[in-house]
Structure 1
Amino acid sequence: MNFFVNKRIGHSNSGVEHAQFYRAQCFREKNMVFKLIYTDYLPQLHEHMKEWRLKENEVIGLYDYLLSDNPSEYLQNGLAHTNVYRQQTLVDFVDTQRVVHQQTTGQYQATILKSKRFDSKKNVYLVGDDRVILENGQHRVAWHYRHSESLGKIMTNIHVSGFHDRDYLFATFEELLMFFLLELQREFTHNCYFIDRGTDNEEVLITLKNRGYQLKIVDIVHAAHLVSYQNNRPVWNNYYQYMFDHLDDVDRVIVATTLQQKDILSQLRDSGLPVDPHKIIAIPVGGVNQIAAPKKWAGNVAKFVTVSRLHPEKKIAHIVESIAQLNQKGFAATLSIYGTGNEEDKLKQLINDYHLNDKITLKGFCQSITRELLNYDAYVSASYSEGFGLTYIEALGAALPVASYANLYGAQSLIKDGKNGHLAEFDRHNKNEATNIAHLSAAMQLIFTDYDTLSEGATLTAENFQIKKIADQWARVVEGLS
């Protein structure tokens, strides 16, 4: 079995989850079996599975499994019946949440007991989860949380009751995860784990492999992997440090671009580590099913669009300021922003400060973004770093030229200056933000000096990222591991 290992899925997801959805599409295309694994407590899991068109027999949720009346049947086929999510919250006399009751979308119910503690550093009372109890008849999973200053909530004293008529106690989540993955090893054969998220997943699987269990491990790199060089040696991103430290135990490493592939191989040589060039493979994390016909610009208002989590690292404020600059220069431009996140209020205020409410619209979350993109002229991104940039490919497939900072690795790999868009140089230091924004604004305007050619170039680029072609690449990886 091929397992895509992750922690969570929701109504709105990051590029990691969307990369998994695209990979699932490729595996279906080639009739290769797979299951997505989610290890977080997800009370609305099955609702979100339906939203993202995942079948019951394509997903394994950790707690659905532990609380199942027939765990083996669940692993093979998923749930036959799901529930509508409901929640009831009980509060005390000062309106503080104390108990939360949930009917999950699975077959079990949840009771979450809250605690109230004083944070002397913040000088405020904090309310958080203290104990969680999940129940399905005689089946029960319960745990406490302890709070760490650096790590936040940590599960402890995890009781699993009535699982295959036996009771278990796990001191840590890592012990529970080990138990769960051993169960998968017993139930399935010829297992290959594609690790998308979770260093805990990675550590447990490598431990099992070192103990002699027959399994393959494929690490998926979703972001820039390098922090800097120190003493002529590479310093890795924390998310990938464990992978590089245990590269001998990993069967394949998948990156999204050939540029990142070359960089990793070069940096491994610089680190003095043995290099197997066949182990690092470049496969796009997403692609297109259909490619729109090239567009022609009528010379009216330039309609820009961006799709992103509204988080600080995405620098959406830079795009807002660029739109302001374009209109101040007399170049008519509008912007639609798709996505949600904790910067939404800040962006609303910025749009209001620039008096751009008639030019810029926050569109919120959208599940049909490939269709929506067809309504615009050009795509814009202000991220300083993109491992790939799925929205770049989706935009190019909609025949939209792209203006973007020249980030690693997505923009530099996918956007060819003057061919399918324009790249803006940038400096990461905050003191240079005004210069960065001026460069981005200029790149956005340049798109419309030779728009028709750039739109045609966008469709030509998208031709290389058709799902069928990417599916062929995944099939070769799976075949090479068998």
Structure 2
Amino acid sequence: MSIYTFNLLVGYEPNGVDVAQASRAKLLRDLGVQSTFVFTTWPSPEKLAYYLSLGHRDEELLYAQLAFTDQEKTVPQQTVGALQMALQLTRLDIIEQSEEKICYQLADNNVLVFHLDPYHPDCVRYVDYLLGTTIIKREYYGACKLVTEYFQYGSVIRRTYHDQNGRIAFEEARQGGHWLSKMGPEILTSQTEVMRRFLSKLSLKKEDLILVDRASRMEFARPLLEQRSSAKLAMVFHSEHEFENGQLNYEYYYVFKYAQRFDAFITATEAQKEVLQQTLAKQDCHGIPIYTIPVGHLEKLTGSLEGRRPFSLMTASRLDPRKRLDLAIRVVATAHLTLPDLRFDIYGKGGEEDNLQNLIQELGAQDYIYLRGHADLQQIYPRYQAYLTTSQWETFGLTLMEAAGAGLALLGFDARYGNPTFIKDGKNGFLVDYSEKIPEADLVKELANRLVELFQGNVTPFHQASYELASCYLTSKVQEVWKQALKDMGQLDEKEI
């Protein structure tokens, strides 16, 4: 059995789905289940490094366009010495060297740069060809050359995919704002057609499972729905699918239109599963099993030897309008009038950074509310007493899970789905009634009151309650959920475990 995940996204900001996919990769790996994560677009070095840093492994990645070549291995294997010899370079040509790269001076002001792979010692991941300081070509290597990119004014205009003998087997070229693909004498004018050809190359079997994390405006969505293999197809919901006013999220338009094409749906919480069942019933769609599988897991529960700083509060998320961090800032500014020692740190980056900083200045809160940017949060969570979220919906809430796993008290709105999953009112934190009809000033006031109540009381019992709740999300527990779901789908039996 193989599990194929569509897809690892290229060209967008990092998000929670990326983290959820990496969590799934580790859980399935530890279960001994073969899983493959598909790039439907060739990733830049920075994007690939990002996914590898999350915990993905080279041998579990599949690049759709390379399926049209005879390349079987994409793990970097070309050593510096071997590639140096193949490109007729010597150590005398080296003008700069570090742990990350080696630069060679060529004739006519050309520079060639070996970019070394941090996961495979002494191996080259890719090579840049520079004319002065301008990149003109880039070559990617596995056991041999995989892909060549050609640049104009800093952007890729052509990409060739090579067989092991170096022959071009597949090619992409930019024409205006569109990409055309060439396979032998044939020109493919749409990425949808490329994906259709790619799926036919997979030779999917009934034991295989395709997990779809994204469907809206994805070039693989229609081919996946139309493919006629006996493999099972499951949709993983990472967003709200039906808003409280009854409108469906456009992101899942095709999912509901062709719901009967799916063999299973997966939600991250029981709360969303219940709403999804109601949504499907309204669409007159019955009989499709829905599994609840957390999209994250905890390796362990964490604490701090240094202790928690008194009156310390934090949050962590993309600085995005949907997260409503402006409300969090107003909540803390209001509570600070009663709790002068209160400190609030906001971790994350995003497009709202300037607006949030301006709001902090406007409220005169710059001495106790700080934008901290990106950080490795695992060692940071335990320094705080409480975690505040003002998001008006979360399908899961990875940072809520992590904060609970570090024993923080949690505060937020009683809004779908993550908050009531991780915040148990009066036990490990406080939930405030939420509705789109409630004035924002009232929401801010009520949440500020709960924040004051928390810090004026004994916070310690809340910490213990968070630890107890978070223990349900430890690796072994979530692995068991995956194992049972795969058994129920008929994709796994005892012999495979």
- TM-score in same-fold range (> 0.5): yes
- 1:448-473 residue CA offsets vs partner (Å, 9 max, x unmatched): 22411111110110111112111111
Partner of 1:60: 62
User: For the residues of structure 1 that align with 2:185 and 2:313, how far apart are their CA atoms?
Assistant: 57
Q: Which of 191, 199, 204 lines up with 2:208 in the alignment?
A: 191
Partner of 1:19: 20
Partner of 1:223: 239
1:108 aligned onto 2:125 = no
Assess if the C-alpha contact under 8 Å between 1:297 and 1:451 holds in 2.
Answer: no
- 1:133-165 residue CA offsets vs partner (Å, 9 max, x unmatched): 446554252233565xxxxxxx443224xxxxx
What letter matches 1:243 in structure 2? V
- 1:183-221 residue CA offsets vs partner (Å, 9 max, x unmatched): 1226x7732111112343332111013xxx221111000
Moved more, 329-338 or 372-381: 329-338
Assess if the C-alpha contact under 8 Å between 1:305 and 1:380 holds in 2.
Answer: yes
Change beyond 3 A, Cα 1:413–1:50: closer
User: For the residues of structure 2 that align with 1:296 and 1:428, how far apart are their CA atoms?
Assistant: 41
Which structure 1 segments of 5+ residues have no match?
Answer: 92-98, 115-127, 148-154, 161-165
Q: Which of 309, 318, 334 lines up with 1:325 in the alignment?
A: 334
User: For the residues of structure 2 that align with 1:388 and 1:260, how far apart are their CA atoms?
Assistant: 9
Partner of 2:200: 182
Q: Which of 170, 183, 187 lines up with 1:169 in the alignment?
A: 187
- Map of 1:50-449 to 2, 5 A cutoff? 50-63=52-65, 65=67, 70-71=70-71, 73-74=72-73, 78-81=75-78, 82-83=124-125, 101=136, 103=138, 107-113=146-152, 131-134=157-160, 138-139=167-168, 141-144=171-174, 155-160=178-183, 166-185=184-203, 190-199=207-216, 200=218, 201-209=220-228, 213-227=229-243, 235-271=247-283, 273-276=284-287, 279-292=289-302, 301-366=310-375, 368-428=376-436, 432-448=439-455, 449=457
Assess if the C-alpha contact under 8 Å between 1:294 and 1:455 holds in 2.
Answer: no
Assess if the C-alpha contact under 8 Å between 1:112 and 1:131 holds in 2.
Answer: yes
The percentage of counterpart residues that share the same residue type is: 21
CA RMSD across the alignment: 3.1
Partner of 1:125: none
What letter matches 2:77 in structure 1? A
Which structure 2 segments of 5+ residues have no match?
Answer: 79-123, 492-497
User: For the residues of structure 2 that align with 1:103 and 1:424, how far apart are their CA atoms?
Assistant: 53
User: For the residues of structure 2 that align with 1:340 and 1:474, how far apart are their CA atoms?
Assistant: 32
Assess if the C-alpha contact under 8 Å between 2:307 and 2:383 holds in 1.
Answer: no
Structure 1 residue 222: deviation in Å? 0.6
User: For the residues of structure 1 that align with 2:34 and 2:454, how far apart are their CA atoms?
Assistant: 43
Moved more, 256-265 or 79-88: 79-88
Larger radius of gyration: 2
Moved more, 388-397 or 472-481: 472-481
Assess if the C-alpha contact under 8 Å between 2:303 and 2:382 holds in 1.
Answer: no
Change beyond 3 A, Cα 1:89–1:415: farther
User: For the residues of structure 2 that align with 1:184 and 1:443, how far apart are their CA atoms?
Assistant: 54
Q: What's the TM-score once normalised by structure 1's chain length?
A: 0.81
